[in-house]
Structure 1
């Protein structure tokens, strides 16, 4: 699980790099069963589906293989992330349950997988508990330490997350641990270390999905500081490795929007929501359309948000963070506040503090909002959007000098942080007397 300052805070971004996906089984796919072009397509385009297929075939031959059941469950979790299809969550749950039925004691792989699934469903307290149960069985499980790192990060236990991450790095330095190390550094404002960790992660890959994953976050890191050229270069390189990758296309869409290329930005955002209609993607595309005065088209995207959100909830996944920010931005403070409070009850991290602050501001309760906005920006790596929210709240409270400083910091951090809110930040700052 990870959120990135590179990404609009409307998004509760997720890192679910499930290291237990059955790579060994992927390699065992019978190459004679398909034409060479088909084998190449599986290897380059859909390795997770290949892992699922190979694991399923293994289980047809050896249905009592509890390890493969756990690996199949982990592959289903990753497939849910990639495809934005929440029906894979129930499939994952069933696979983990089967693994535990076959091996109820000492099955740390299944418990770690259940923890990753709980993280995906935003049940972070359960994820932390499951990871700790797995570690009680096997303290040397890098996978379990990774699940615990993600859960603690989302719960706002940043010191505990760093501690778990250090254990993971010691046990298995590689793609999964280096990318988490990058996010940990970014959260604390150390962008040099964050980039270095991503470059180390990139060095462990041999192209394909691993490279695309690293370049997604290298591009996002560049975008978070307003470096559009570097961001574009990273996203383009990633798309060379995996053409059509949704996360990379989303990054490209943001760069195109920031550069004012409306036609290409709309086309690219549309490709993203077509491939991955997550609520946060629909909201972001709608917000961009709204910023361009295309309100009818924006409403078409927004109309889908609740439908998709309900589908995810039916499969055990909650995302009140997206709804809180969306409702606060669109004149529904009651819904925003209810959603933000629900999210805050689940986790008290910087994202939930920011969402609650913004919802309280929308409800006209700025004195209550300010402490949460301060908490959201206190860790060291405050995003431009979080700073904009805080500056707006400070301005509403008449704290003019502080608001000017905070809004200036937001725009200095990334002048392209939001097609809707960056211009509003500029206008508000000007109305307060400009930069200090």
Structure 2
């Protein structure tokens, strides 16, 4: 018998009207157990519902009415359940309808999982960490409701909903930069549903954040071997592109992401992949190509913050500073991401506009506080900021803790640079080498990483390696930073030409 403690009642057989039957104590105990456990699930779900937006007063929850207004936005629903990007307006509509659904049917584990995934995607795209606690509550409620229902019906071995919720928690942990938790949730999801492709991307990000590149490549190989359907194929190619970039395979990364953009099925999805292509072009110093892709993405999804900020980045590289400032400010007006504030602050600083730069750094600090309140680990960003614009010793302390917890390449580079800024160049070179040596995992071709290593080597009077890495930084991307690219050129000029020495015997 299906027990429905909430929502409209459903006519069912009357226990009183049934003909007498021989007593079966075990059957009645199983029935009672189901009632109690299902009621408990309803209680858990009801508690989570109270944490959502309050329902309108004096209105009883009801089943959503039929008709176009009650239909869940198909594109957003497909996106959040399939791991592909969605437009912010569609996400907002989906969230509203899923909130209504879980109020009416608080035992719907799938609805809770979809709501959590939608909150997560909305927070990720809008750079609003306030969405993350809501996403976590919804995803955990999905697990609790499904667990209670499984206990009430031990004959149901279905674990799909749990795999969806666990994958969502893994993706949430990745966005919060909690890679150990992401690994834990991702591996649990993979164990429950090894053929579900959406279980792999969060796990790949977790392995990458932990510096376990062998595991990340292995997970990608398994993902590529699943032969995902046509709808999922662009997202799989985008994931492959990210791994190829980290391995230094730039051409393969561009090819995969370009194909993903061509095969995307919605404007928002295509815009996300074109933004990625633009970022890859900017990393190679191809300013015009980057700008073209960012602007194409903006035409497809005008609300996309990442494309707006990317446009500012490309315009700054082209020397169109006024337009770059306008683009950055437009991105920050939509969704003020602290990393965009840092880039705009450094652009102002490079132009000698120091009060404007300080205003952006204050905005960065305010946004970091909000992100931390939403459960985001911002130690990397804080360390990067403090190393260049604050207290390098504080940066070292924060980044050393971060390295012990999750030793990824970004952290190695940031820690090496913080140590250099704090005056410990010998130890700084150890971490800069990790970030740039393929043998140690640093396969990504980053102008910033090469610049950091070159400057450290210059301070250690290692002129040959310093000259090589500074030249490499400018060869990878001559415009990688409005502050650091000029510093790299000046340092390289100061090192002079390669001395004309006889070949060794």
The two structures have a TM-score, normalised by structure 2, of 0.76
Report if aligned partners of 1:376, 1:382 keep a CA contact under 8 Å in 2. Answer: no
- Mapped pair 1:132 → 2:187: yes
| 2:483 corresponding residue in structure 1 | 420
**Per-residue deviation, 1:240:** 1.2
Counterpart of 1:88?
131
Correspondence for 1:164? 219
Stretches of structure 2 lacking an aligned partner (at least 5 in a row): 1-64, 72-85, 151-158, 500-505
Whether contact under 8 Å (1:360, 1:366) holds in the other structure is: yes
Contact persistence 1:269–1:285 (CA under 8 A): yes
- The residue that corresponds to 1:197 in the other structure is 256
Question: 269, 294, 308: which one pairs with 1:235?
Answer: 294
Segment drifting more, 325-334 vs 421-430:
325-334
Offset of 1:139 from its aligned partner?
1.2
SS in 2 for 1:68: helix
Q: Which moved more, 1:165-174 or 1:194-203?
A: 165-174
Give secondary structure in 2 for the equivalent of 1:55: helix
> Conserved in 1, the CA contact under 8 Å of 2:338 and 2:368?
yes
**1:322 lines up with 2:322 in the alignment:** no
Give CA-to-partner distance per residue, 1:134-160, whole Å, 9 cap, x none.
122111121111111110011111111
Larger Rg over CA atoms? 2
- Asked if structure 1 preserves the Cα contact closer than 8 Å seen for 2:88 and 2:125, the reply is no
Distance 1:203 1:266 in 2: 31
CA 434–381 in structure 1, closer or farther in 2 if over 3 Å, else same: farther
Cα displacement (A) at 1:238: 0.8
Residue by residue over 1:37-69, the C-alpha shift from the partner in whole angstroms, topping out at 9 and shown as x without a partner, is: xxxxxx965221122123223323432110111
RMSD: 2.0
Q: Is the Cα–Cα contact under 8 Å of residues 162 and 184 in structure 1 kept in the other structure?
A: yes
Task: Answer 1 or 2: higher relative contact order, Cα 8 Å, separation at least 6.
Answer: 1
Please identify, of 377-386 and 213-222, the stretch whose mean Cα deviation from structure 2 is larger.
Answer: 377-386
Equivalent pair of 2:450/2:469 in contact (CA under 8 Å): yes
Task: Kindly indicate whether the alpha-carbon contact (under 8 Å) linking 2:257 and 2:276 is maintained by their aligned counterparts in 1.
Answer: yes
1:214 and 1:276 map into 2 onto residues whose CA distance is 19
Match in the other structure for 2:120: 77
Q: Deviations over 1:262-306 (max 9, x none)?
A: 211111111112222222111111011101100000001111222
Give me the TM-score of the superposition, normalised by structure 1.
0.88
Q: Which deviates further from its counterpart, 363-372 or 130-139?
A: 130-139
CA distance in 2, matches of 1:212, 1:318: 27
Deviations 1:201-251 (CA, angstroms, capped at 9, x unpaired): 112213411011001110111111111121111111111111141101111
SS at 2:336 equivalent: coil
Whole-Å separation in 1 of the counterparts to 2:235 and 2:397: 35
What is the aligned partner in structure 2 of residue 19 from structure 1?
none
Tell me: CA distance 1:80–1:412, structure 2 relative to 1, closer, same or farther (3 Å). same
Q: CA deviation at 1:435?
A: 6.8
Q: Does 1:211 align with 2:257?
A: no
Per the alignment, residue 220 of structure 1 pairs with 279
State the Cα deviation string for residues 381-417 of structure 1 (Å, max 9, x = none): 2200000000000000000111001100000000000
> Partners in 1 of 2:377 and 2:412 — Cα distance?
17
Distance 1:89 1:380 in 2: 32
